[in-house]
Structure 1
Amino acid sequence: MSDTPHRPLRSHQGVLRRMSTRGREEEHRTATPLELFFDLCFVVAVAQAGRQLVHALAEGHPGHGVQGYAMIFFAVWWAWMNFTWFSSAYDTDDVLFRGMTLVQIAGVLVLAAGVPRAFDSGDWRVVWFGYLVMRLAMVGQWLRAALSTQGAERRTALRYAAGVALCQVGWLGLLLLPGGKPWLFLGMALCETAVPVWAERRRPTGWHPHHIAERYGLFTIIVLGETVSAATVAVQSAVDEHRALGTLLPIAAGGLLIIFAAYWIYFAVPIHLHLISNRQAFLWGYGHYLVFGSAAAIGAGIEVAIEEATGKAHVSAFAAASTVTVAAALFMFTVWLIHSRHQKRGPVQQLVLPVSAVLVLACTFAARWAVLAAGCVAAVTVAVGVTLTARSDTADRRAAEGGRPTASGA
């Protein structure tokens, strides 16, 4: 935990200020407008990945679709992770920091433009170049942090700069090697995720638990918002072309219930209280690859279900339903595994989300009614969770009041 004091940011910081670490105990630490802008630009790449997943699933190519989506989404998510944790520790909000962050945003927009080629034909050149732009800015940020610090903290920053640069060179294999790209991608992904563990082995950075929790929560909201947007456009297009409102209403209603429940489930617990050490934070942060990925895939699944209902998709009703239920079940289970279970008490509360995930998967057999059924399960899950939490809080309050001395017994 960093002991370095940090002054609150002022509205104007000038061109350059010393990049000292921000303390984990800093009060009133919240996301900045620049960070929100950064997230909104990243969701462009998320939308591109989801759109390609829809096309692959609707054409009956789930293997190619899931593999491509997993690879593209990792690239997007990891670039977002790199900046998010760095800014939590070293955000100076001066002109140079803002300028380098805008360069990273430009890089992700280049990456987003290359998503269709990478997905369809395995041409990663544009994606790699976008990553190069982002990585040059990221390495520059870490070198700046190294110049502003000393001792173990400087070594941590230099390790980050070296690790990020070497990994970027490693990604050249996607361009130079004609075959085996999925295995190369997996190997490089493992190298990427090992960099923070190696860099912070001796001296952790001063990331802020509440700030990190807020940043992840805001990105969850943005991804769910993109899911709503994609599903809405799909419904509108289907109605305009087919006027099959009666067929689409159950899908739209079920999809909306799933998305609303996903929001409620994620924000039901104050997770920043759990983020104490690097070990806890890394497991939680890395696990969000599945949380964010499944949340975005829910919208893609809803689009596939709509296309199947209107006769545009070349898949069965069961297969179309599974694109929604599998994504929703994965979201529920992963949120419970890395997020919610740390605040649940007793076996009943602990079992609510895992059991609900299984029930959502079972809804797949409802075929055309699967999305609505899964939405109802998700809504009941929220209702049960709220009821159990209210009962637990009431019991705790009564126990506290019972143990409190009264005026007559004082």
Structure 2
Amino acid sequence: MDHNTANLQTALIWLKTLVAGRLGVVLGKREGFELPPLDFYHQDSWLAGFLERYEPCYEEFAIFLLAIVPHLQPQFFNRIIAEHLPEGGDFPEFGGVRGANHRGILPTGETAQFLLAGDDLEKRLQVQRLLSAEHWFARQHILWLESLPHGEPAMSGRLIVDPEVVDLLTVGKVGRPRFSPDFPAEYIETAMNWEDLVLHPHTVSQIGEIENWIKHNDTLLHDWGMKRRIKPGYRALFYGPPGTGKTLTASLLGKQTGKDVFRIDLSRVVSKYIGETEKNLSKLFEKAEHKAWILFFDEADALFGKRTEIRDAHDKYANQEVAYLLQRIEAYNGLVILASNQRANIDEAFVRRFQSIVHFPMPRAEERYQIWRKTFPPQIAIGDDIDWQQIALRHELSGAGILNVTHFCAVQVLAEQATRLELKQLEAAIRREYVKEGKIV
């Protein structure tokens, strides 16, 4: 048995003693009870690390275990209650609710009050304060009370624990979230490296500035005391034609610095229904908070386009959506990158909020030459009639366009069971790419 499992087992025995003891006192079966001491293993245990970091008091630790236990032993409360009420019966003082799929008891704020305070009003109010929005449980997004319909007592809400806390406690790591209505973003990565990406020298220099921020931000904010004077995150705008490396650069920044990168397509997030856009964005930022993820907002024009005068209620709410996103972006403590095909599409009032504005121009002839030389696999012999410098001068293609041509040529060579690429084949593939891009018909 590993240390974390052993610690969880010790904690569950402790919680069972607390629940059984309180039920025994309330039902008149005993006068009092004594909780066993907690003696944890401190190595290789997330639970021990949690205790060391937050130093919870007895009541806080009990509430934490109450929220966690349905994820570990679904019938935990049912079994204890059945031992004390073998003939069954309703016991509303205990609190708890049934879930849509979960068959056991899900503890509520009332459950915590019953176990920790009984009928003592002062102690019940103390428990209520532990479950308020001001407590570190809520501020650190560890656990909170479920929101209820207007008019119902707040403490009858379920104890909700962050799923990531459950992951850390049970499997030892947090899995990357998948794209869903609750998380409208997808994880992106690349097998490429910086040397595979060819950019304009000025663009490379600006990307280096962002790398420097990622590497040294913690020192700047905490060791140098700048946290009081500057906002914690970094906001950058990438603009340029499609296929010039904006998404790849974001992926490489994550790979280089060891941070996950998530791409958010704002066209999927923006809703025609009032309030839905803010709701979608709120879920996204709540998930990303304190993760140091890189958030890459593709097609940023969908929300950050030039504003028009307010003529109707729709325009008014559209401006509210933009204001909300700006607020969340500025409060985010990681790197946020917005991407657009044209800088002119982004309202200047928003542009001023960015620390960095990086242009990704179409590659010049010298950059196209490097891309052509790097892109073709070594298994393909290049015909003597192919001069990459002449190809680069004659054909204005983006990096993505060149990659598409390479891909097509490689498949053709394999299909023909050849090992050599001739100029005629290359020119035909380039023409095919031009037709696809609408440059020729």
Task: Report the TM-score, using the length of structure 1 for normalisation.
Answer: 0.27
**Larger relative contact order (C-alpha < 8 A, sep ≥ 6)?**
1
* Rg comparison, structure with higher value: 2
TM norm structure 2? 0.26
